[in-house]
Amino acid sequence: MPDDNTGTENMSATAKDGLNIAKPMARATIDLRHVCCGLVPAILDELKRFRGDEVDVLIRAGIEPEIISGFGTGGDWAFQFLPSFGHGLARFTRRPPDPAKRVRLDVLDY
């Protein structure tokens, strides 16, 4: 049992003193590797429910082009693909709110 209640009972003395050790970041992960059809709507549904600012989404390997074509460059989330093994990994980061209210102009608004 650790004496400082930090869960470091299996760490070496060097790790316990904080040298050369990065604290692991807890990052939310959504596993959608089982989805092959309708991936973009599934991701959007998950992002609507997500309250944090950054989330990793696990996807089927090789399906990245569907995400790129589905999300493009707009929206409330920025995304990037990260190297992974056996699956795709897309990291979504919430964009800060736009100070100017977005106005949608189309033929029906005139």
Residue 41's domain is classified under what CATH number? 3.30.110
Position 68 confidence tier, pLDDT thresholds 50, 70, 90: confident
Strand partners, 59: 88
Q: Of residues 79 and 105, which shows the higher confidence score?
A: 79
**Average confidence score pLDDT of the chain:** 75
**pTM here?**
0.63
Position 73 confidence tier, pLDDT thresholds 50, 70, 90: low
Assigned domain for 78 exists: yes
Predicted pLDDT at 8: 43
How many CB atoms are located within 10 Å of the residue 13 CB? 7
Assigned domain for 43 exists: yes
Count structural domains, the chain: 1
Exposed/middle/buried for residue 73 (C-beta within 10 Å: 0-12, 13-18, 19+): exposed
pLDDT in tens, 6-50: 444 444 444 455 555 545 556 899 999 999 888 889 999 999 999
Assigned domain for 103 exists: no
Residue 67: domain span: 25-94
Contact residues for 47 (Cβ-Cβ < 8 A; gap 6+)? 55, 76, 77, 92
DSSP letters, 61-102, are TT-HHHHHHHHTT-SSEEEEEE--SSSEEEEEEEPPPPSSPP
- Check whether 51 has a pLDDT greater than 70: yes
Assigned domain for 104 exists: no
Assigned domain for 12 exists: no
Q: How far apart are CA 72 and CA 79, in angstroms?
A: 9
Average of per-residue pLDDT across 48-67: 89
